[in-house]
Structure 1
Amino acid sequence: MSRPDALLPRKSPRQRRARLTVASLLEAAAQLIETQGMDGFNTNAVAERAGVSIGSLYQYFPSKDALTLALLEREAGRFEADALAALEAPDGPAALRHLIGASVRQQLERPELARLLDEQEGRPELRAHLDKGRFGQLIDTLLQRPGLPRQMDAALAAADVAALIRGLVDGAGERRETDLADLQRRVEAAVFGYLERAAAAAPGGQGRECESGMRAGPGPA
């Protein structure tokens, strides 16, 4: 979907100095959102905090919404880089634990920023320009790894796991939780419990033990 002009960057930073300016503007925006909320977040305040002129900001971002969308994309890119490291894990359980950890870190390492950006992400005019499908695709890939219970409907299981992770993590953010380890423990319990029970409840499920010690549904070894 093409973006309206108000959300399109005016130009892309190509030289190192320009990239540093854009990075400074995005981090200034993040800090303002954390400390002042969305009411205190505006282009003039961002430019002032970043130490650049408002004209320099408008060279790259034509509106507050364009800046918000760019910040959402920055945070999504950071999460994706962390989450994709799950592919390097030795087995399915370790990979899924890493992915859950990445989700918890994104939400609770900068909790106020994450919480307020979650609200902005819900705006249709911004959400339409964010790619939300890759999270589910990564989970689908991880569920095929050795050591996890085999699911009768892998695509449905991946969608359910994505919903579980998002729901629990976003809920913790809304409650302003701060304990990363406790949230990770609870999300792991929910996700692995779901996978085990769903596999066992499938028609013909035999609850075969995986190497990880989890129970798995039927399927070739």
Structure 2
Amino acid sequence: MPRIAEARPSAEPSSPGQKARHQRILRAAAKQGAEYGLERVQMLDIAKEAGVAIATLYRYFPSKTHLFTAVMADQVARLEEVSFAAEPGQDPVEAVADLLVEASRQLLRRPLLANAMMQSNNASPATPASPAGRIDTAFRDLIVRTLGLDEPTDHDLRLVRLVEQGWYGILTQSLNRGVDLADAEADIRLACRLLLVERSNA
């Protein structure tokens, strides 16, 4: 799905109080999104759940697309805090597969929220400073770090991008067409083995 232009940029929280409100909004959106999905969730209900004025919500998130892309960026940032580096003797490609399988499991625990985040991310411009851009960068960096590539080549980054795209497609199919989780995980592992075998330090 092509990304659409933003109506206006989101405000960024700066003070501790603003950051706390921002986090409350993200938590409320995740809760409401998991229960109702993107189409049925209401911005006013999210504002009430977060204990903020509706104007405050719209200041940070001009639309549901902005909001649920930010929710996904926040969840990816939490994933970054977990180490998926290959264990001694473990194939780094298998470590990447473990990373993507774990990310899939976390997303698929709340399918309505996962759909809301992925639909919103698809419709958001991926500029470097935007939540969608941060998601792309964070996943790329996670995979590169898990592979143990200190200085990835352009070829490495192209392979990583293909792995990301394959994972995203598998996850989308699992959500929208009811592909069995075991089959989705097997597909993810196969994609990693096929695509990353030619990395520069293999």
Q: Give per-residue Cα distances to partners, 1:157-192, cap 9 Å, x unaligned.
A: 33332232222122212224573x553233113322
Residue identity over aligned pairs, in percent, reads 21
Which residue number corresponds to residue 7 of structure 1?
Answer: 9
Q: Is the 8 A contact 2:33 2:113 kept in 1?
A: yes
Q: Is the 8 A contact 1:95 1:142 kept in 2?
A: yes
Which residue number corresponds to residue 172 of structure 1?
Answer: 174
Shift of 1:218: 10
Residue 38 of structure 2 aligns to which amino acid in structure 1?
M
1:86 aligned residue (84, 103, 123): 84
TM-score, with length taken from structure 1: 0.64
Partner Cα separation in structure 2 for residue 113 and residue 164 of structure 1: 20
Residue 7 of structure 1 aligns to which amino acid in structure 2?
P
Partner Cα separation in structure 1 for residue 100 and residue 189 of structure 2: 7
Partner Cα separation in structure 2 for residue 77 and residue 109 of structure 1: 18
Shift of 1:93: 4.2
Shift of 1:113: 0.7
Which residue number corresponds to residue 70 of structure 1?
Answer: 70
Shift of 1:122: 1.3
Partner Cα separation in structure 2 for residue 47 and residue 12 of structure 1: 19
Which residue number corresponds to residue 139 of structure 1?
Answer: 143
Q: 5+ unaligned residues in a row in structure 1: which ranges?
A: 146-152, 200-216
Which residue number corresponds to residue 214 of structure 1?
Answer: none
Partner Cα separation in structure 1 for residue 94 and residue 160 of structure 2: 16
TM-score, with length taken from structure 2: 0.69
- Match of 1:89, SS state, is coil
Partner Cα separation in structure 1 for residue 106 and residue 183 of structure 2: 15
Q: 5+ unaligned residues in a row in structure 2: which ranges?
A: 150-154
Q: Is the 8 A contact 1:33 1:41 kept in 2?
A: yes
Residue 71 of structure 2 aligns to which amino acid in structure 1?
L
- Match of 2:33, SS state, is helix
Q: Which has the higher contact order (CA 8 A, sep 6+)?
A: 2
Partner Cα separation in structure 2 for residue 38 and residue 74 of structure 1: 17
| Number of corresponding residues | 185
